[in-house]
A and B are shown apart, each in its own frame.
Chain A
Amino acid sequence: MADPTLFDISQRGKRCTRMPAPEKGAEELIPAQHLRAQAPGLPEVSEPEIARHYATLAAQNFNVDGHFYPLGSCTMKYNPKVNEALAADPGWARLHPATPEEHVQGALRLMHQLEAWLCAILGMDAVSLQPPAGAAGEFTSLRVFRAWHDSQGNTQRTRVIVPDTAHGTNPASVARCGWTVTVLESGDDGRVSPEALADALDDDVAALMLTNPNTLGLFEAQVLQIAEMVHDAGALMYCDGANMNALLGHGRPGEMGFDAVQVNLHKTFSTPHGGGGPGSGPIGVTAELEPFLPVPRLVEQDGRLAWDWDRPESIGKVQSWFGNFLVAVRAWAYIRACGADGLAQVARDAVLAANYIRASLEDVYDLPYPGACMHECVLSARTIAEETGVRAADIAKRLLDHGIHPPTMYFPLIVDEALMIEPAETETKAALDRFIEVMREIAREAAADPEILHDAPHSTPVRRVDEVKAARNPILRWQGR
């Protein structure tokens, strides 16, 4: 069961951090009409209690250090410790963003290098580090597309084609740009069918958003032809680069014909997910789109770096300052430590691990799209569900009893009972073998003792959580003792 909250253990008068005593009262400094009558009801606790509280909570989290975490499309690779050490260094962490440029040349150089390296990795001409997450990168790119179309007088282009396998953020980002979504049904091979695309393309189409490799873990092998079709129709090509881990050193979105791409530093470039952020979603664009990128842009003149705000065609800002800089520091360190060969090996090991899992499980789980995959494989529990009543969610919850974080479930939407498995490159073969053995055992359990799966998990701090009750009667804050 849940532990007491800080509010439950709060006792009046307890303190952790003390401050020197102020000399004046608030009423001497601030007009009385602006002062609050009652102090905010924050917890009053001592430092040991805070430490114990969070140690107790921490022990209840599955995490990448402690557990295999093959969550599909999330690239839960190991987060190198040196990155954390660097990001905590006051030389980066204690910089105020209003500091005159001549005193932050190191930070600007780091950002400038990261921009250049991402350009090289993605095959794009310019990069903006400002979008603070992947979805923000999608929105920023589409906003840039819209500004470009406007500059060309293409105001009738208001439709964006999005395949049915796309991440939910894709259509949501389209809507954020004031555009509408046309869903493209995947072909029988799980990829975009050029014929279906041809039918969907028209002179009101602004862009195609394509995830490559897609969320079935399949490379869109026709991407060059697709790009040509889209460009011939006067529209732009957007790459959702969430799955870039599969392509490092093996394929560059710029050369595939994409006009813009976002990368998730918190996926491909090893920065931690933080239990839901902070992430960072830099975008790369072609030279033609560069003038529309967010302000300010980093520019170099006579060896000095500076922020350029004079960008009349820019779409404006998508974050308060220059993006999630301390996340960029971690990604910079990762790329610098890996080098080109290291990054290529990352992709090779990630793809090898996903295929090893696929090949080792396809006899007990359905593989709706047969053949080799890239960085992730999508299995289905459809047959198991039909034969035993055990569903993907039950399998996922049972994995927790074995100390393994479940794969992504019920996504992509076109696969029934989907289990989307992305092992990443940082798990040992022994860990992969154990996962395979556990998955096979669960399949056996489904036939022999389905109840144990319906009731799973059995060994976690709480049993299966009632999400229906939570949504019907939302309790979103502590409500008193």
Chain B
Amino acid sequence: MPWLPHTERDRREMLEALGVDSVDELFAEIPEKLRESARPDLPPPLTEMELLDHAGALAAQNRTLDELTCFAGGGIYDHFIPAIVHSVTSRPEFVTPYTPYQAEASQGTLQAMFEYQTMICELTAMPIANASLYDGATALGEAVLLAANSTRRSRALVSAALSPAARRATRTYCEATGLEVVEIPWDDESGQTDLGELAKMLDDEVACVALQQPNYFGVLEEVAEAGEQAHEAGALFVAMVEPISLALLTPPGEYGADLVVGEGQPLGLLPGYGGPLLGIFACRDEFLRRMPGRVVGRTVDAAGEEAYCLTLQTREQHIRRGRATSNICTNEGLCALAAAVYMAALGPEGLREVALLGAERAHDLREKLVAAGLEPRFAGPYVNEFVLRVAGDAEALVRELAGAGYLVGPTLARDYEELDDCLLLAATERRTVEEIDGLVAAMRS
């Protein structure tokens, strides 16, 4: 155990100072029968060298995105990550501290989070952003709960074309508190949320309407109209966004969103088999004191100089306990830092290029698939992801293509029975024309 620095002599000296003969005496309060059976059955310890070899052998059973050419999407995308991101986020000064409660000892983390919050505000055109939530799915759950508490209404309308994982998490979050989550159907041709149906579903018990832009099918929604409908009914409008696309798309602050959430993984986070991720959360000023999660504020120190600290902590559990606005405590600070470094590295122009290249590649892919006789499922406008209908079993095709070195999907059958012959395809700036041609050729056969 290289991480235990005590010598036996150190331990003996400490015991002597305590006036205790053995460490066992310090555990005497634990009933003996509990202690006797407490030793877990674990494999024998490994040295660092053995551990690395062992883990390496296990990792070799995985096929990574270096081995599979990634056209998969569904919320996790294979973007290029500049080296500066890992260089910053692997610094122990950022990796090893706790949440920055002691402001004087944490100005680095605090300022970095303040800058992150500003970047999210800029990206979304919203006035306030927090310092992160767990992921996009739980961020939606938090937003819906906030909407219900704020409007004192009991029903949330969530588009069925919004991420299935986010809908599941939202139901898990909301239904225990008696809040009903009802799904708005989508239009079979365009793949957009059916706003005609939405109009029929709105009444004075609806707390919020939630849409994703682009939606889970990759299709761009008529968000402005949905927002207007929600507001007319006295409901809040929640927009779930994809951050890279916001370099091109109208930001939610300009189409009437009251609450904005999103999955931040595309902003410089490794796919990591789905975690850790980054929950983006932004809102209008009005919800300042109801916002879940940490937020950093700028203030001054005793000498009157600029300084940063965590603020509005009275919303949090250590003060408000059962009446806290959320139970979230530890969030995804280091992931937010990665996103901030990524956004700084790309800048507005670089981010636009990343978004545009992805859109260009996806459109190229779709056109070539159509030319090869394959059929996109929806006609609505899209950015860098779309649904393809395939002949036969979509799941089997995904496995077959993985065998040929291409990762596509996810498939849609689990969450949409009527789309059991469909799968998602996405492209990022990393995909080359050769790779696109290769996938099309593989799919044709």
User: Does a CB–CB distance below 8 Å link A and B in the complex?
Assistant: yes
Cross-chain contact of A40 among B94, B246, B319 (Cβ < 8 A): B246
| A residues near B171, Cβ cutoff 8 Å | 316
Interface string of A69-86 (1 = CB under 8 A from B): 101001011111010111
Q: Which residue of A lies closest to B222 (CB)?
A: A33
In the complex, A457→B111 CA distance in Å? 19
A429:B247 contact, CB within 8 angstroms = no
Contact flag A352-B51 (CB < 8 Å), given A95-B271, A176-B176, A465-B301: no
Q: Report, nearest first, the 10 A-B pairs whose CB atoms are least far apart.
A: A321-B274, A91-B59, A276-B333, A274-B334, A339-B45, A97-B274, A168-B317, A106-B61, A278-B276, A1-B305
Interface window among A59-67, A192-200, A384-392, A437-445: A59-67
Whether B357 lies near A19 (C-beta < 8 A) is yes
- A149 to chain B minimum Cβ distance, whole angstroms, is 11
Contact with A along B257-282 (1 / 0, CB 8 A): 00000010000001111111100000
**A60 → B minimal CB distance (Å):** 4
State in angstroms the CA–CA spacing of A168 and B313 once bound together.
12
- Chain A interface: which of B76-84, B152-160, B199-207, B227-235? B76-84
Q: Is the CB of A275 within 8 A of B295?
A: no
Which of A353, A464, A478 contacts B118, CB < 8 Å?
Answer: A478
Query: Hey, what's the 0/1 contact readout for B92-108 against A, CB within 8 Å counting as 1?
Result: 11111111101111111
Quick one: CB contact mask for B7-31 with A, threshold 8 Å, 1 for yes?
0001101110111100101111111
CB–CB A66/B92 < 8 A: yes
A172 contacts chain B at the CB level, 8 A cutoff: yes
Contact between B312 and A474, CB atoms less than 8 A apart: yes
CB distance from B264 to the nearest CB of A (A): 11
Q: Are B248 and A36 in contact (CB under 8 A)?
A: yes
Q: A50-B84, A96-B78, A276-B100 are in contact. Are A104 and B273 (CB under 8 A)?
A: yes
Given known A-B contacts A96-B78, A346-B4, A58 and B115 have beta carbons under 8 A apart: no
Query: Least Cβ distance of A115 to chain B in Å?
Result: 13
A460 contacts partner chain B, Cβ-Cβ < 8 Å: yes
Interface size of B by CB at 8 A reads 200
Tell me if B308 counts as interface (CB < 8 A to partner A): yes
Chain B proximity of A292: nearest CB distance (Å): 11
Nearest residue (CB) in A for B272 is A326
Q: Which of A168, A277, A372 contacts B318 (CB 8 A)?
A: A168
Bound state CA distance, A39 and B246, in angstroms? 9
- Within the assembled complex, what's the spacing in Å between the Cα atoms of A143 and B277? 22
Chain B nearest CB: distance from A233 CB in Å?
Answer: 21
Task: Name the residue of chain A whose CB is nearest to the CB of B329.
Answer: A135
Interchain nearest-CB distance for B166 vs A (Å): 7
Contact call A58/B108, Cβ cutoff below 8 A = yes
Least CB distance, A57 to chain B, in whole angstroms: 4
Is B97 touching A64 in the complex (CB atoms < 8 A)? yes
B302 touches A57 (CB 8 A): no
User: Which residues of A from 222 to 263 have beta carbons under 8 Å from B?
Assistant: 224, 247, 249-252, 255-256
| Docked-complex contact A97 and B271, CB < 8 angstroms | yes
B334 near A278: Cβ-Cβ < 8 Å: yes
Shortest C-beta distance, A33 to chain B (Å), equals: 8
Is the pair B54, A336 in contact by a Cβ cutoff of 8 Å?
Answer: yes
Asked if A306 is an interface residue, CB under 8 A from chain B, the answer is: no
Q: Please, what's the 1-or-0 string for B28-47, where 1 marks a CB less than 8 Å from any CB in chain A? A: 11110011011111111111
Q: B6 and A90: CB pair below 8 A?
A: no
Closest Cβ of chain B: how far from A450's Cβ, in Å?
16
Q: Does B330 contact A (CB under 8 A)?
A: yes
In the complex, chain B residues 163-184 whose Cβ is within 8 Å of any chain A Cβ = 163, 165-166, 168-169, 171-173, 176-178
Tell me if B321 and A103 are in contact (CB < 8 A): no
Question: Which of B86, B117, B248, B330 has the most chain A CB atoms inside 10 A of its CB?
Answer: B330
A250 CB to nearest B CB, Å: 5
Q: Is the CB of A171 within 8 A of B321?
A: yes
Known: A247-B38, A346-B4, A467-B299. 20 other contacts (CB 8 A): A30-B383, A40-B122, A47-B84, A69-B97, A94-B65, A95-B64, A133-B328, A176-B327, A247-B30, A250-B38, A277-B335, A278-B335, A317-B137, A317-B172, A327-B275, A462-B301, A464-B302, A470-B309, A471-B297, A476-B296
Cα-based distance from A352 to B276 in the complex (angstroms): 34
Q: When chains A and B are docked, how far (Å) is the Cα of A207 from the Cα of B430?
A: 51
Which segment of B342-350, B369-377, B385-393, B435-443 sits at the interface? B342-350
A17 interface residue, CB < 8 Å from B? yes
Residues of B contacting A370 in the complex (Cβ-Cβ under 8 angstroms): none
Minimum distance in angstroms from A39 CB to a CB of chain B: 4
Any B CB within 8 A of the CB of A188: no
Is there contact, CB below 8 Å, between B72 and A96? yes
Question: A153 in the interface, Cβ–Cβ < 8 Å?
Answer: no
Interface size on A, residues (CB 8 A): 202
Is B445 part of the binding interface, using a Cβ–Cβ cutoff of 8 Å? no
Query: Are A90 and B333 closer than 8 Å at their CB atoms?
Result: no
Q: A21 interface residue, CB < 8 Å from B? A: yes
- 11 A–B pairs (Cβ distance < 8 Å), ordered by A: A31-B381, A99-B402, A103-B402, A135-B330, A255-B37, A272-B334, A274-B95, A320-B274, A344-B39, A460-B105, A475-B299
Interface SS majority for chain A: loop
A184 in contact (CB, < 8 A): no
**CB atoms of B248 and A26 under 8 A apart:** yes
A428 touches B317 (CB 8 A): no
**A331 within 8 Å of B by Cβ?**
no
Say how far A110's CB is from chain B's closest CB, in angstroms: 6
Q: Is the beta-carbon distance between A466 and B76 smaller than 8 angstroms?
A: no
A132 touches B60 (CB 8 A): no
A15–B98 CB distance below 8 A: no
Given A103-B68, A252-B38, A476-B297, CB of A40 within 8 Å of CB of B251: yes
Chain B residue contacts of A477, Cβ below 8 A = 114, 117-118, 121, 127-129
| Inter-chain contact A349/B134, CB cutoff 8 Å | no
Complex CA–CA separation, A426 to B3 (angstroms):
6
Is the CB–CB distance between B307 and A320 below 8 Å?
Answer: no
The A429-476 residues at the B interface (CB cut-off 8 A) are 429, 432, 455, 457, 460-467, 469-471, 474-476
- Kindly state the separation between the CA atoms of A382 and B252 in the bound complex, as whole angstroms: 51
Q: Is the CB of A251 within 8 A of B34?
A: yes
The answer to whether B270 and A120 touch across the interface, beta carbons within 8 angstroms, is no
Q: Is the CB of A61 within 8 A of B109?
A: yes
**Could you say which residues of chain A place their CB within 8 Å of the CB of B92?**
63-66, 79
Partner of B299, one of A133, A324, A470: A470
Does B131 sit within 8 A of A, measured CB to CB?
Answer: yes
Nearest residue in B to A87 (C-beta to C-beta)? B272
Contact A86 B76 (CB under 8 A): no
Which residues of chain A come closer than 8 Å to B402, judged between CB atoms?
99-100, 102-103
Q: A29-B360, A57-B112, A352-B26 are in contact. Are A42 and B347 (CB under 8 A)?
A: yes
For B28, list chain A residues within 8 Å (CB): 372
| Most-contacted residue by chain A among B26, B52, B74, B327 (CB, 10 A) | B327
Docked complex Cα distance between A94 and B65 (Å)? 6
CB neighbours of A39 from chain B (8 A): 247, 348-349, 352
- The 8 A CB mask of B283-316 against A (1 = contact, 0 = none) is 0000010000011111111110111110111101
Residues of chain B contacted by A276 (CB below 8 angstroms): 98-100, 109, 113, 131-132, 294, 330-334
